[in-house]
Amino acid sequence: MSWIANRTAAFDSSGIRKVFNLASQLEDPINLSIGQPDFDVPEPVQEALIEAVQSGKNGYALTQGMPVLKEPLQRQITAEYGHSDRDVFVSSGTSGGLVLTLFSLVNPGEEVILFDPFFVMYAPLVELVGGQPVLIDTYPDFRIDLNRVAEAITPRTKLILLNSPANPTGVTATAEEIQGLATLAEERDIALVSDEIYRQFCYDEPFVSPARFNERTIVIDGFSKSYAMTGWRVGFVHGPAEIIDTMVKLQQYSFVCAPQPAQWAAAAALEVNIQGSIDDYRRKRDRIYEGLRDDYDLTHPGGAFYAFPKAPWGTGTEFVEAALGQNLLIIPGNIFSRQNTHFRLSYAAPDEVIERGIAVLQTLARNRPARS
């Protein structure tokens, strides 16, 4: 239709949408496709939301975030980093924070370095703001090669976007990789944005943020994954004050604010210990890895709740279609990448579903269908 803006052509959600539509149509599907926790919002957080609603905290929130949430976030961030110039604001989800970050920093024609595979939103959002995605191949082990990053930098490079632990691979960058990237960005005067939505889900090593090494790092974080608040749309962004002020200004004219009742609930979440859930997901990660490593080329995931195996035969898309024929829902890797060799599964699922999924995947790997 001639009315539709050209910029919308950057977005194609048909691949993931197809899987989600199938999930609603299949009877008792083995659903390892959804990237959201299968545990419920902690009870104290639910109670705080109900109390906020019943006590009338239902109007617009302050654009920068309500003091009940913004102030403890600021205290935590200051205690962790000790930077003299690091402010925080509350965004409408981490996705909202990402959108505002790119609109605030990237001019048309400027380049943004992404690591392939990447979260499905990254490249389209860069194009939406008029930027040019520059993809750095991290196959086969999904590690950051600092030499490749340095070679990809041009006079038009504005920003490097890091996601660790990563969606879709589950790979966690090493402290050496993170420090090297932070130093390179600082030396080249390039903005470094760290998407830390999975920072709580680190199973083998403590989480490391590039903000430890580069004081101008912009950090995006939130409550969706760690507290199962995916539908509540509360995130936050912290970084240099001038950048945060710019994002708050843009939020005022776009998202307006994060939902006020959910901000009161998020403040309560800061006091909730979720270590039990993290330990449970470490166990799920171990079961997935043990169940698949003999039949699949699979990089050991150190965090998040994803694995990104290589399809044992055919393309990633062909293999996913065969899995669908066995009632198993997984996501083809080309949704997240220029390559079509892998697939993503999420182990944010009940143990029984994980066991059924492992059984189907073992069978598919060991019984390649004959070509027609």
**Residue 169 burial (C-beta neighbours within 10 Å; 0-12, 13-18, 19+):** buried
Distance CA 108, CA 111 (A): 9
Cβ pair 360, 30 in contact under 8 A: yes
pLDDT at 17: 64
Q: Which CATH number fits domain 59-269: 3.40.50.12780, 3.40.640.10, 3.40.50.1110, 3.20.20.140?
A: 3.40.640.10
pLDDT at 16: 63
Cβ pair 52, 260 in contact under 8 A: yes
Cβ pair 111, 156 in contact under 8 A: yes
pLDDT band at 43 (very low <50, low <70, confident <90, very high): very high
pLDDT at 6: 84
Residue 20 pLDDT exceeds 90:
no
DSSP per-residue string spanning 248-279: HHHHHTTT----HHHHHHHHHHTT---HHHHH
pLDDT: which is higher, 198 or 228: 198
Q: What is the overall mean pLDDT for the chain?
A: 94
Q: What is the mean pLDDT of residues 346-370?
A: 93
Tell me the three state secondary structure of residue 335: helix
pLDDT band at 28 (very low <50, low <70, confident <90, very high): confident
pLDDT: which is higher, 21 or 173: 173
What are residue 89's DSSP bridge partners? 237
Positive or negative CA dihedral for 343, 340, 9, 17? negative
Write the pLDDT tens digit of every residue in 203-235: 999 999 999 999 999 999 999 999 989 999 999
pLDDT at 306: 98
Amino acid at 145: D
Write the pLDDT tens digit of every residue in 289-332: 999 999 999 999 999 999 999 999 999 999 999 999 999 999 99
pLDDT band at 372 (very low <50, low <70, confident <90, very high): very low
Write the pLDDT tens digit of every residue in 248-288: 999 999 999 999 999 999 999 999 999 999 999 999 999 99
pLDDT band at 14 (very low <50, low <70, confident <90, very high): low
What is the DSSP secondary structure assignment for residue 193, as one 8-state letter? E
- Which stretches within the chain are classed as H helix? 14-25, 43-54, 67-81, 93-105, 122-128, 146-152, 175-188, 241-252, 260-269, 275-292, 316-324, 351-366
pLDDT band at 245 (very low <50, low <70, confident <90, very high): very high
Residue 111 pLDDT exceeds 80:
yes
Q: Percentage of the chain with pLDDT > 90?
A: 88
pLDDT band at 26 (very low <50, low <70, confident <90, very high): confident
Residue 345 pLDDT exceeds 70:
yes
Residue 19 pLDDT exceeds 70:
no
pTM, two decimal places: 0.94
Domain boundaries 6-41+274-366, CATH class: alpha beta
Write the pLDDT tens digit of every residue in 55-93: 999 999 999 999 999 999 999 999 999 999 999 999 999
pLDDT at 9: 79
pLDDT at 5: 85
Domain range annotation of the chain: 6-41+274-366, 59-269
